[in-house]
Chain A
Amino acid sequence: MNDELIRRIVRNRAVYLMILPGFLYFIIFKYVPMWGLVISFQDYRPYEGIFGSEWVGFKHYERLFTDPLFWRIFRNTIMLFGLNLLFYFPLPIILAVMLNEVRLAAFKRFVQTAVYIPHFMSWVIIVSISFVMLTMDGGIVNEGLASLGLEKQNFLLNKNWLRPMYILQVIWREAGWGTIVYLAAIAAIDPQLYEAARMDGAGRFRQIWHITLPSIRSVIVVLLILKIGDVLELGFEHVYLLLNSMNREVGEIFDTFVYTAGLRQGQFSFSTAVGFFKSFVGLLLVIIANWLAKKFGEEGVY
């Protein structure tokens, strides 16, 4: 058996060599650093190292779960994630289907490029543009409201506006970019299906409903599962830029908390514990989502 394996490896050495860089990448940058999680069970002091630091068991986890801030952060994270799933996730699908129906190729390509562009702008730029538009001191939105005789809104300092602002910015930046995978999936659909449907007298909407969407269903499910895996990855940079004293109550999420506790205050062990908890929840959700997907007869991600 072993000889057989070695022989097969030798025979296909070129393939194995090509896998090697990716394999090494995962070992070096993903698996080895995982040992760093050990420090969440220690009072880690950089100069004493992982082997020298005092072992404290679950102390940091206890602190996390008893911290009154914990539930607030947990709630905020789940809330933003839920909104993200509800409002952002379907948009690229709709956009991709709509783009697919555009008949003029040049126009389609133009729109495609145009909706990709925001993805290449950093969050700093997106947030700054919003800031300039929404400020009370001469921002275009508030000036518009005022000229319509409506009351000015302090969008930036009102905690009720944080979530809508977050979602709108995510849509603005990512919706176009998100269409890529769906467009590729749509392009792979057998054109004969459409021809047959047309023969049967199906209109455009019928074709979308009965051919396009069912054909990309498995892609949608896979992306949904992956998205759920990212449940607590809401984009540190983005949320951090939006945070201020007035909206922290609804805006502080795990990522920003890890930053404050870990990098600004040097509490490496505690912030590792927080990060670990976050990843653990993400893993749990992926397993559940995958299991559900399989239950409903889809392929899932593994």
Chain B
Amino acid sequence: MRKMWKKTAVWLCTVFVLGALLAACGSDDGRTPSNGDTASRGEAGESGEGTAKPEPFQLKIMTNLHTPEVPHDEIEKLLEEKTNTQLDIQWVPDGSYEEKLNASFATGSLPQAVYMKNQATYIIFRDAIRNGQFWEIGPYLNEYPNLSRLDENVLKNTAVDGKIYGLYQERPLSRQGVIYRKDWADKLGIPEPETIDDLYNMMKKFTEEDPDGNNKRDTIGLTDRSDLIYGAFKTVASYFGTPNNWSLNGDRLEPEFMHPGYMETMKFFKRLYDEGLINKDFPVTSKDDQQNLIITGRAGVYIGSMPDVQSLHAKTAEIDPDAEYDVVNRIAGPDGAAGVWSIPGYGNIVLFPKSAVKSEEELKQILSFFDQLMSPELANLVKWGIEGKHYTLENGLVVKNSDTKMTDREQKPYEILQIGGESTIDMLKAYHPLPVKAKAEELVLDNNEILIHDPAAALDSATMGEKGIELQQMITDATYNFILGQLDEAGFAKEIERWKKQGGEQMMTELAESYQQSQK
């Protein structure tokens, strides 16, 4: 009897373990394990639908998420209702998006609509696009009233071999500028900076002349972070007249770091570092820490996206209600001209993998969803949220709810879904009660007058797709080493030679060829 029992137990155990193993294998098909709640949501939607409507169209989307949590699905529900679609959105944390994108692509598990996050990731996929892995959508765009309004010039920037594969999200061409503590400047009698020297003097005075009046030398001029592009470096480089990524020299393309302006910028930062006008840890500082330095009154200048002044102001006011900010954009370089680098007019871009979208008919249905997304009503919904909850209207302008924790959780993540933008959709515009924010938005528009474009934006190089990140890393490292005094001018020149040898030269040749072709 006892033996029997033992035997049964062994069998049971084995079956149980096997079962668990199989269950673990089976549950992972296509859905992201990271956000369990899309799964349950999908099932809830399936039952209990009315029978009068046609069957809702199933659409899986993968996109990047800037907030820490998967958003609440209220807006998603509304979208589903308005478009008669059943959405399954895979939210992937922004920081690991490239990884997820490549892994999904490698395993053939990309969903029907894939957001590319930005230009850099999009470039990596050019080779796959050329090999027919994604639907070409150019010829269909005219069939849709809203999609046909997308700007042709921007579409051209996204094209691969002259063909259009993606829908883009509009982005202002350049939001870069300088944000500084107006109250500090007034106190020390510093006027609005107009030249790069003015900017330097402001940082120096902010560091040395005790702008916060506590008789301690505990402030610095500039707060920066571990990002040479969206941090301060690239914007300052523009002030020194450095080209944007590439410069066109006859019919040769040269990278920005061969330009003397780049060297000047590195020297400028080296000076800031040596004189202690910038946070000492900036090559490892996160964006949060960088902003905290200015919010807590330890730094006085922030160079980056000017509209950030809104959140900086709000957070600073909690600590120091008297703090005041100002923004400025046209900083003249040594040659007296002001410039600012620009992006090619798009931020995110959506592609449609052939592995998931099987037929032209299905593609058309998906495009029709995005067409509806570009209607003013839905564009407002994803951009601003629900009226009365996430925003209110004042004289026809949007006033956002000031409870950013709530909007971050419920509305902000959906902004990423938007296709097109203010210049292609007749949508609501924001009201900026904070004058300096309104000024920042004006200056963003003013930036359009002084843009430095990237001449290689629409050009193509196979090496760039293959080794671009690795090569860029080399120069980024060399730049930081120069600023921190670990590398001199000759050392930096040597790094450039190394860059050339390891694929840079080839990249230059390929871009030049691509340029010549585009001129024909």
Contact = CB atoms under 8 A, between A and B. Distances in A.
Interface residues of A, number: 34
B14 interface: yes
A125 to B, nearest CB: 15
Interface string B98-132: 11001101111000000000000000100010010
**Among all A-B residue pairs, the 8 with the closest Cβ atoms:** A245-B480, A136-B280, A245-B477, A17-B14, A46-B106, A14-B10, A266-B102, A263-B99
Interface string A245-288: 11011000000000011111111100000000000000000000
26 contacts: A14-B7, A14-B14, A21-B14, A28-B25, A46-B106, A46-B128, A47-B133, A131-B284, A135-B281, A137-B279, A137-B280, A137-B293, A157-B281, A157-B484, A244-B480, A245-B226, A245-B480, A246-B477, A248-B473, A249-B477, A260-B469, A260-B470, A263-B98, A265-B468, A265-B469, A266-B124
Given A14-B7, A136-B281, A260-B470, A265 B13 contact: no
A45 B98 CA distance: 17
Given A28-B25, A244-B284, A266-B124, 13 more contacts: A18-B13, A21-B17, A24-B18, A45-B128, A47-B128, A135-B281, A157-B484, A245-B481, A246-B283, A248-B473, A262-B102, A265-B102, A265-B470
Contacts, number: 98
B150 to A, nearest CB: 27
Contacts of B124: 265-266
Interface string B1-21: 000000100110110011001
Contacts of B315: none
B234 to A, nearest CB: 15
A25 B21 contact: yes
B355 interface: yes
A14 B7 CA distance: 8
Interface in B63-116: 98-99, 102-103, 105-108
Contacts of B279: 136-137
Given A47-B133, A245-B283, A264 B469 contact: yes
Nearest to B108: A46
Interface of B: 7, 10-11, 13-14, 17-18, 21, 25, 98-99, 102-103, 105-108, 124, 128, 131, 133, 226, 279-281, 283-284, 293, 355, 466-470, 473, 476-477, 479-481, 484, 486, 498, 502
Contacts of A14: 7, 10-11, 14
Nearest to A262: B102
Nearest to A28: B25
Contacts of A268: 106
Nearest to A155: B281
A156 interface: yes
Contacts of A137: 279-281, 293
Nearest to B286: A131
Contacts of B133: 47
Contacts of A102: none
A156 B284 contact: yes
A28 B25 CA distance: 10
Contacts of A18: 10, 13-14
A86 B216 CA distance: 46
B484 A246 contact: yes
A46 B481 CA distance: 38
B481 A246 contact: yes
A88 B283 CA distance: 29
Among A20, A21, A156, A261, chain B packs the most CB atoms within 10 A around the CB of A21
A68 interface: yes
Interface string A177-216: 0000000000000000000000000000000000000000
A122 interface: no
Contacts of B105: 46, 266
Interface string A84-95: 000000000000
B133 to A, nearest CB: 5
Contacts of B98: 263-264
Among A28, A135, A137, A261, chain B packs the most CB atoms within 10 A around the CB of A137
A10 to B, nearest CB: 14
B30 to A, nearest CB: 15
A131 B7 CA distance: 56
Contacts of B131: 45, 47
B270 to A, nearest CB: 14
A145 B396 CA distance: 59
A34 to B, nearest CB: 17
Contacts of B99: 263-264
A261 B124 CA distance: 12
A194 B133 CA distance: 72
A113 interface: no
Contacts of B473: 248, 260
B236 to A, nearest CB: 17
A21 B20 CA distance: 10
A135 B298 CA distance: 15
Contacts of A264: 98-99, 102, 469
Contacts of B470: 260-261, 265
A286 to B, nearest CB: 28
Nearest to B486: A246
A255 to B, nearest CB: 14
B102 A263 contact: yes
A103 B107 CA distance: 56
Given A47-B131, A263-B98, A156 B469 contact: no
Contacts of B468: 265
Nearest to A46: B106
A280 B284 CA distance: 34
A249 B102 CA distance: 27
Nearest to A157: B283
Nearest to A14: B10
Given A18-B14, A266-B124, A68 B502 contact: yes
Nearest to B21: A21
B253 to A, nearest CB: 21
Nearest to B476: A245
Contacts of B484: 157, 246
Nearest to B25: A28
A242 B98 CA distance: 20
Interface string A22-47: 00110010000000000000000111
Contacts of B107: 46
Nearest to B14: A17
A25 B284 CA distance: 41
A244 B226 contact: yes
Nearest to A39: B106
Contacts of B18: 20-21, 24
A100 B98 CA distance: 49
Contacts of B102: 262-266
Contacts of A156: 281, 284
Nearest to A24: B21
Contacts of B226: 244-245
A47 B110 CA distance: 11
Contacts of B128: 45-47
Nearest to B477: A245
